[in-house]
Chain A
Amino acid sequence: MNDQTPRLAITQQGAVTVVELMDKKILDEAAIAEIGEAMFAQVAEVADPKMVVDFVNVAHMSSSMLGALITLNKRVREKGGSLCLCNICPSIYEVFVITRLNEVFQICDGRAQAVQRAT
């Protein structure tokens, strides 16, 4: 991915902010920081954040990205909002299971279900 390609695609579905991660491999610390800051900014903008993070493009992810998601989840919860992850491929879902983070996050199969859960 070149420097011009955005790392996130952010859209609104009603009251829910949908963040689609665009990188196939989320491994670079600088990229993770950039993605994290962009998501945190979305949460900061609203009183009652409802957010979906869509992993449809993601094939690899380092544990640092898990850290960014945990921080995001905490910030959403602190504001009484809701966060749901979706379209996580089986190999990455296994990472969530191994780390028990499938017990921390709301995770749905597809985007539509995730938007409904986050609403």
Chain B
Amino acid sequence: MVKRVISSDLDAARQLAGDVLRHVESEGYAEGVCFAIRLALEEALINAIRHGSKFDQAKKITVSADVGEQRTAITIADEGAGFDPAAVPDPTADENLEKPSGRGIMLMRAYMDEVQYNDRGNEVRMVKYKS
């Protein structure tokens, strides 16, 4: 289990993501599964920093990653006001296709087996099964 509280800093987030991925790789997850976890984790951390913390490094992000033989479960919580994930526009809709942002959550849902937000919208739990 990796559990850490980091400042809302992209370098800290990247280092944390690297640590989590090393745990995942050491458990023998396939390359494609590692890619999926890395992508979803990076997107979720960037969202927490950008939208949750508004890049305020005084705000903390809490990350826990339970890397097991069968699956990896990652929870990321920020100190932001939260949001309604259902209100995020579909980035694959024709009218949104060429917008420069808004794909993070969709990619998280595409690459992870489970993605759930808490009611407030400031915490996300993602699960990826090993096979």
A and B bound? Answer: yes
Task: Tell me, yes or no, whether A28 is within 8 Å of chain B by CB.
Answer: yes
Task: Tell me, yes or no, whether A9 is within 8 Å of chain B by CB.
Answer: no
Mask for A71-90, Cβ within 8 A of B = 1, else 0? 10110000000000000000
Whole-angstrom CA separation of A64 from B51 in the bound complex: 14
Distance to closest chain B CB from A88 (angstroms): 14
Taking residues whose C-beta sits less than 8 angstroms from the other chain, chain B's interface range is: 20 to 34
Task: Tell me, yes or no, whether A116 is within 8 Å of chain B by CB.
Answer: no
A63–B97 contact, CB under 8 A? no
Q: Spot the interface stretch: A11-19, A50-58, A96-104, A107-115.
A: A96-104
Q: Hey, which bits of chain B sit against chain A, CB under 8 A?
A: 10, 14, 17, 32, 35, 38-39, 42-43, 46, 91-92, 97-101, 103-104, 106-107, 110
A91–B107 contact, CB under 8 A? no
What 5 additional pairs, Cβ within 8 angstroms, besides A62-B43, A95-B107? Answer: A62-B39, A64-B46, A64-B101, A91-B35, A99-B107
Number of A-B contacts (CB under 8 A): 53
B10–A28 contact, CB under 8 A? yes
Whole-angstrom CA separation of A64 from B98 in the bound complex: 13
B10–A29 contact, CB under 8 A? yes
Q: Hey, which bits of chain A sit against chain B, CB under 8 A?
A: 27-30, 60, 62-64, 66-68, 70-71, 73-74, 91, 95, 98-101, 103-104
B43–A63 contact, CB under 8 A? yes
Question: Which residue of chain A has the shortest Cβ distance to B101 in the bound complex?
Answer: A67
